[in-house]
């Protein structure tokens, strides 16, 4: 990863995400941040963006707001960091896809808000869309996340198709750049009842992929996967939790309203969400 693309709607939660991303860029030794705003479809609704009939006026207003954002996060990134501003009237996912091609080896940082009820309030309807449809990694930063040096990273993994789906290289490079310790966590419930012969093979594959990183392997029994992940991450004083969104069903389960509510209420940890690798 070489570039952080900060997607913003100029809300308080988006500002917090931008500050977090700027601070993270220093630890990752990244020297390029792109501040991006889609003025056709704002990312969240915490602060509605003013409506303008003239496209040029919208563009100029967006640039002015991005300049203000740049100033607001100036104390958080390294002095030699290149800050680029981008704005257009594309749908947010389309705009991010174009930027990801323009800036290879990038990831998106986005905030979440939780001021009203329902799933869209918890993580934002456009956050859901971005994670679902964007191919690049997405860092979801909760409202209350305050950056501190990241020393430990938790990777949540199931034991299905381990070698086929894990974006191993991306995760290893990310952890190396942080100079952090890696914890691999599998959360299950009533493992003895759900045990099947494939489990041993998948555990072997897991060790084959990750043993060279000297991680710690942990297996936790918890009927609530989200709480199991976050309780473990809190115990290990993890700075970031990495989740691999393998399938549509997996993603929907992770971001089901009740699960997401617990994630939002029980942790201030950012989630780095990666897609499965296509083979």
133-156: per-residue pLDDT in tens? 777 899 988 887 889 999 999 998
pLDDT of amino acid 114? 44
Task: Classify burial at 149, counting beta carbons within 10 Å of its beta carbon; exposed 0-12, middle 13-18, buried 19 or more.
Answer: exposed
The H or E element containing residue 248 is: helix 248-254
pLDDT of amino acid 9? 87
Q: Say how far apart CA 70 and CA 7 lie, in whole Å.
A: 13
pLDDT of amino acid 166? 66
HEC string for 7-73? ECCCCHHHHHHHHHHHHHHHHHCCCEEEEEEECCCCCCCCCCCCCCCCHHHHHHHHHHHHHHHHHHC
pLDDT of amino acid 226? 73
Residues (pLDDT < 50) of the chain are 41-45, 47, 52-53, 114-123, 192-193, 247-251, 257, 260, 264-265, 278-279
CA-wise closest residue to 25 among 67, 85, 96, 73: 73
User: Is-above-0.85 flag for pTM?
Assistant: no
| Alpha helices per DSSP H over 180-241 | 191-194, 198-210, 225-235
Domains and CATH numbers, the chain: 3-141 (3.40.50.620), 152-275 (3.40.50.620)
Q: Say how far apart CA 213 and CA 65 lie, in whole Å.
A: 42
């Amino acid at each position: 990863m070489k570039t952080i693309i900060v997607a913003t709607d100029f809300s308080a939660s988006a500002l917090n995400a931008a500050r977090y991303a700027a601070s993270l860029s220093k630890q990752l030794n990244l020297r390029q941040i792109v501040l991006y705003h889609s003025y056709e479809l704002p990312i969240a609704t915490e602060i509605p963006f003013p409506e303008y009939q003239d496209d040029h006026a919208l563009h100029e207003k967006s640039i002015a707001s991005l300049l203000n954002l740049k100033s607001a996060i100036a104390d958080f990134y390294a002095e030699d960091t290149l800050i680029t501003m981008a704005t257009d009237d594309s749908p947010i996912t389309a705009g991010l896809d174009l930027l990801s091609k323009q800036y290879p080896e990038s990831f998106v940082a986005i905030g979440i808000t939780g001021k009203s009820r329902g799933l869209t309030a918890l993580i934002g309807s456009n956050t859901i869309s971005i994670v679902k449809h964007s191919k690049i990694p997405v860092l979801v930063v909760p409202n209350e996340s305050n950056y501190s040096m990241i020393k430990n990273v938790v990777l949540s993994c199931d034991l299905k198709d381990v070698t086929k789906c894990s974006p191993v290289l991306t995760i290893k490079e990310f952890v190396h750049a942080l100079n952090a310790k890696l914890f691999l966590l599998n959360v299950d419930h009533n493992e003895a009842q759900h045990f099947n012969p494939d489990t041993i093979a998948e555990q072997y594959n897991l060790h084959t992929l990750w043993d060279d990183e000297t991680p710690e392997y942990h297996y936790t029994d918890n009927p609530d996967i989200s709480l199991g992940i976050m309780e473990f991450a809190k115990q290990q004083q993890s700075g970031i939790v990495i989740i691999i969104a393998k399938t549509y069903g997996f993603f929907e389960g992770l971001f089901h309203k009740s699960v997401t509510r617990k994630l939002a209420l029980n942790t201030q940890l950012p989630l780095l969400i990666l897609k499965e690798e296509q083979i």
